[in-house]
Amino acid sequence: MAATLTGPPVAAYYCEPFSRNAAGPPLTLGTFATARILKALPRVELSRAVGRLCERPLPPTLSRLVTGAYCKAYRVDLADVEPAASPYPTFDAFFTRALREGARPVSPDVVVSPADGVLSATGPVDSGTRISVKGSFYDVGELIGDPTDARRYCGGSFAVIYLSPRDYHRVHSPVDGVMSRVRHVPGDLYPVNAIGERHVPQLLAKNKRVAIVVDTAGLGRVTVVMVGAMVVGRISVTGIADLASAQEDRELSPSPGVKRGDEIGIFHLGSTVVLFVEPQVTLCRPEGRIRYGQSLLAAS
């Protein structure tokens, strides 16, 4: 059962993934004006409204038109999608579509990608429990919602995966283990794009996010952070009861077992995944396109 977090929806604004330029995108009058407008917008309220619209039933003809136009605009490949009744009853049902069994082979390596998207950054967690993402430093404790737990990741490594509009938007366990805890970390709904990166300091740590903790037998603790962004949707967590509060930190007892590739969450239009592992293993795959189930330990 997929449990939906209550409170303001976690949402996504679609643009390009994080800039590879550590200094950020060039500052122009246009980007500055856009940033000022985005900061003035009622971002949470707008996200709620668009999220409700995406969940409204669609007449069959309109559903075909909307999903067809979306697939054409964003070059969505439906070849791997699980056969389902067509047309989709809502736009949200289309966006959260499942894949057919076997569409994503899972690597035998001990850590795999939790999502389809672009692997936009990897690197070490320093002794101060910080990471560097495209020139910006983030505190791991802020990102995962627990400064004490963050100390586990000193000397470990992280990976950032950006999900674009064309991608499959379910998130899967990167390791074998048990889901021991889920934290919902409150925040804003800034756009996760080049403008947001340039004009919103600590962007990933400011947005609402959900941290899913997986404890393993040999790798210690792994945390998968699902980061929301502006306009549309929410995050669902698979296999647990509904969370009662938007700020809840829940220990799961009994802790459900998961295998690499098992579904653990769903983005209802959104955004970015940040993965943390302890020093027992190093994430070292080159940046670029990636699918869930592919190794994060591969050198090429």
pLDDT tens string 57-107: 999 999 999 999 999 999 999 999 987 767 899 988 998 999 999 999 999
Least-confidence region, from 11-15, 22-26, 109-113: 11-15
State the pLDDT confidence band at 185, using cuts at 50, 70 and 90. Answer: confident
Report the 10 Å Cβ neighbour count for 7. Answer: 16
Q: Which tens digits make up the pLDDT trace of 242-278?
A: 654 555 788 998 999 999 999 999 988 768 999 999 9
pLDDT at 186: 80
What value does the mean pLDDT take over residues 130-136?
A: 88
User: Annotated catalytic residue: which of 120, 236, 271, 295?
Assistant: 271
- Per-residue pLDDT, 41: 46
198 pLDDT more than 60: no
Whether this model's pTM surpasses 0.75: yes
| SS3 of residue 64 by DSSP | helix
Which percentage of the chain shows pLDDT scores above 70?
Answer: 71
At 231, the pLDDT band (50, 70, 90 cuts) reads low
- Of 92, 116, 146, 167, the catalytic one is 116
Catalytic residue, from 63, 167, 172, 295: name it. Answer: 172
21-33 confidence digits (pLDDT tens): 344 445 444 444 4
pLDDT of residue 33: 45
3 state SS of 94 = helix
Q: Where are the domains of the chain?
A: 2-19+105-290
Active site residue 116: yes
Active site residue 172: yes
Both structure tokens of 255 = 């802790």
Banded model confidence at residue 174, pLDDT cuts 50, 70, 90:
very high
Query: Distance between CA 61 and CA 52 in Å, rounded?
Result: 20
DSSP E strands in the chain: the ranges are: 2-4, 117-124, 130-133, 136-139, 157-162, 170-172, 177-185, 209-215, 221-227, 235-238, 249-251, 257-258, 263-267, 272-277, 288-290
- Supply 188's token pair: 């804003």
Higher pLDDT, 30 or 19: 30
Assess whether 199 carries a catalytic annotation.
Answer: no
pLDDT exceeds 60 at position 18: no
pLDDT(219) > 70 = yes
Q: What is the DSSP string of the chain?
A: -EEEP-SSPPB--------S-TT-SPP-HHHHHHHHHHHHS-HHHHHHHHHHHHTS---HHHHHHHHHHHHHHHT---TTBPP--SS-SSHHHHHTPPBPTTSSPPPSSS-B-SSSEEEEEEEE--TTSEEEETTEEEEHHHHHT-HHHHGGGTT-EEEEEEPPTTS--EEE-SSSEEEEEEEEE--B----SHHHHHHSTTHHHHB-EEEEEEE-SSS-EEEEEEE-BSSS--EEEETSPPPS-TT-EEE-SSPPEE-TT-EEEEESS--EEEEEE-TTS---PPSEEE-TTSBSS---
The per-residue pLDDT for 197 is 53
